[in-house]
Structure 1
Amino acid sequence: MTHRLAVLISGSGTNLQAIMDAREHGSLDVEIAVVFSNRANAAGLERASQAGIPTATLDHRDYPSREEFDQAMIDLLTPYAPDTVVLAGFMRILSSVFVRHYAGRLINIHPSLLPKYRGLNTHARALEAGDSEHGCSIHFVTEELDGGPLIAQAPISVQTNDTVDSLSKRVQQREHRLYPQVLQWRAQNRLELTYNGVLLDGKPLPTQGYILT
């Protein structure tokens, strides 16, 4: 059976587009069962609709607590039977209700070389620190914000003339290569989270994950 994805977004959906492109070009063997957003005007929803992919929205402001919103998301996503839930620019901190429900099936991409710069404004923070290297990370999601076990990272060199915008664009280019590759591992049943850590082809990955060169 084809591996089914639920992709969660809050904005323009550039990583969603990279996933759709990889699927279209045959390098990613998945079905995108649904694209979900907590913002009805998220541009990524239009990308999905134009590609004939089902979309769904819920407004988090309609729910009195984070947990109730997360349970509503679970209820909405359940009929789509996702094998992997993909966070692709989903700008909500998830509660334990959601994280525990999808434990081992919930993956996020973050624009830094974790454990550096969890949270927001990662590019500015890397520049302010004078880092020579920056990049992106993909990890399994746990209840610790941006702290789940690493799957893969894609480093880039920071240039002396880099700005937040130029750094962001170059990191995004790496994201668009890395995410489809990791999701193909999932589709091929090569990647899993176990009590012994992250396994690829049955072997533990190093603490920093696979490094895309």
Structure 2
Amino acid sequence: MKKTKAAVFASGTGSNFQAIMEADNLPVEVVLLVCDKAGAKVMEKAAQYGVPVLLFDPKAYASKSAYEQKLIEELEKAGVEWIFLAGYMRIVGPDLLGAFEGRIVNIHPSLLPAFPGKDAIGQAYQAGVDTTGVTVHYIDEGIDTGPIIAQESVGIHPEDTEDMLKERIQQVEHNLYPNVIRQLLNQTT
């Protein structure tokens, strides 16, 4: 099976990165982890899997365009064909969007369009809704506004704490994201 070369962009603990790395029969070879947070736990996970890390500090560049041009250069050097965002807490700009049009996918812990942006789990929990979930979507210029690929609901129970809800959402994420990646890549190969 030919594997598609991909980069994962992450800023945090890397639980979705790990789910991608451990998924069975995934037609993807993660050739690069892109991280914007020094000390992020996801970099330790990348080291365990032998995945090279590109750590960058956006503040070290004159503009968003400047660091995105550097990212594009590094992604092209690594032969990256697709980008999967997995807890990447930075808005993707027009340079990167243009270079990888239709090939940047994100996972978000809510049923979009509800609760976009940061702390979607906390937003849903505080709102008192009885259902939230997980969305996998293409990236566009907005914040969590790109075309939806797949969604899965997660019920919020009266006895839930926010941590309990987060744990159930992550279980769904860790199953849904690799399945969607598998479907997307099998359609394009």
User: What is the TM-score with the length of structure 1 in the denominator?
Assistant: 0.84
Q: 1:39 maps to which residue?
A: 37
* Unmatched 5+ stretches in structure 2: none
Among residues 137, 144, 147, which one is paired with 2:145 in the alignment? 147
Q: CA deviation at 1:125?
A: 1.7
Moved more, 63-72 or 178-187: 63-72
Rounded to whole Å, the distance in 1 between the matches of 2:38 and 2:187 is 33
Give 1:1-213 correspondences, 5 Å limit: 1-22=2-23, 26-189=24-187
Rounded to whole Å, the distance in 2 between the matches of 1:77 and 1:97 is 13
Q: CA deviation at 1:73?
A: 1.2
Q: CA deviation at 1:40?
A: 3.0
Give CA-to-partner distance per residue, 1:141-166, whole Å, 9 cap, x none: 01121000000111111100212211
Cα RMSD of the aligned pairs, angstroms, is 1.5
Rounded to whole Å, the distance in 2 between the matches of 1:142 and 1:56 is 23
Identity %: 37
One-letter code aligned to 1:154? E
Q: CA deviation at 1:190?
A: 5.4
Aligned residues: 188
Q: 1:110·1:138 contact (CA, 8 Å) conserved in 2?
A: yes
Rounded to whole Å, the distance in 2 between the matches of 1:28 and 1:119 is 28
- Runs of 4 or more, structure 1, over 3 Å off, are none
**Structure 2 residue matching 1:146: 3-state secondary structure:** coil
Rounded to whole Å, the distance in 2 between the matches of 1:40 and 1:127 is 30
Rounded to whole Å, the distance in 2 between the matches of 1:114 and 1:176 is 18
Give CA-to-partner distance per residue, 1:42-89, whole Å, 9 cap, x none: 211111111112222111120122222222211111111222100011
Q: CA deviation at 1:129?
A: 2.0
* Unmatched 5+ stretches in structure 1: 192-213
